[in-house]
């Protein structure tokens, strides 16, 4: 899976098969998003997690990320090599997600509408 964003309108695309670079939006090539590359507060963006009773409870981040109309976490993804679980969020939601968990899941992504993509590897 790769994530692309339109720098003009903010559309975000999760590309499940990445066989060409042909994605475009607003008449321009969409930009590949790389996690943890924007200079912003890591404590508000890096997902933190707790595994308990077969569930993984995720928060963004160690200090809760704002959830206003202008600045919010729009989704959280729990990922393994071949499974994805996605929680879509809106302004005023809590920047949190809970999913059934097994040890195959090793990555948590969070996407901020202003500060892009953040990744925590599950140890």
By beta-carbon proximity to Fe ion, the closer residue of 76 and 112 is 112
Is there a contact between 119 and 112 (Cβ–Cβ < 8 Å)?
A: no
* Phi, then psi, of 16 in degrees rounded to 5: -80, -35
By beta-carbon proximity to Fe ion, the closer residue of 23 and 40 is 40
By beta-carbon proximity to Fe ion, the closer residue of 63 and 106 is 63
By beta-carbon proximity to Fe ion, the closer residue of 25 and 112 is 112
Interface stretch with Fe ion, choices 2-10, 53-61, 81-89, 105-113 (CB under 5 A): 105-113
**Measured between alpha carbons, how far is 83 from 98 in angstroms, rounded to an integer?**
15
Please report whether residue 115 would count as binding Fe ion according to CB under 5 A: yes
Q: Which residues contact 80 (CB under 8 A, 6 or more apart)?
A: 104, 105, 106, 107
Interface stretch with Fe ion, choices 19-27, 30-38, 75-83, 108-116 (CB under 5 A): 108-116
**Measured between alpha carbons, how far is 42 from 26 in angstroms, rounded to an integer?**
31
Query: Closest separation between CB of residue 3 and Fe ion, Å?
Result: 16
Query: Which run of H or E residues covers position 44?
Result: helix 42-45
Please report whether residue 60 would count as binding Fe ion according to CB under 5 A: no
Query: Which run of H or E residues covers position 56?
Result: strand 55-60
Please report whether residue 78 would count as binding Fe ion according to CB under 5 A: no
Footprint of Fe ion (CB under 5 A) = 112, 114-115
């Amino acid at each position: 899976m790769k994530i692309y964003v339109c720098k003009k309108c903010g559309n975000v695309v999760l590309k499940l098969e990445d066989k060409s670079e042909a994605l475009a939006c607003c008449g321009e090539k969409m930009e590949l998003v790389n996690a943890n590359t924007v200079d912003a507060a890591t404590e508000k963006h890096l997902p933190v997690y707790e595994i308990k009773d077969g569930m993984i409870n995720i928060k963004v981040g160690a200090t809760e990320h704002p959830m206003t109309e202008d600045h919010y976490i729009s989704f959280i993804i729990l990922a393994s090599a071949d499974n994805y679980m996605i929680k879509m969020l809106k302004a005023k939601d809590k920047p949190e997600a809970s999913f059934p968990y097994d040890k195959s899941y090793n990555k948590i992504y969070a996407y901020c509408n202003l500060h892009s993509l953040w990744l925590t590897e599950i140890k």
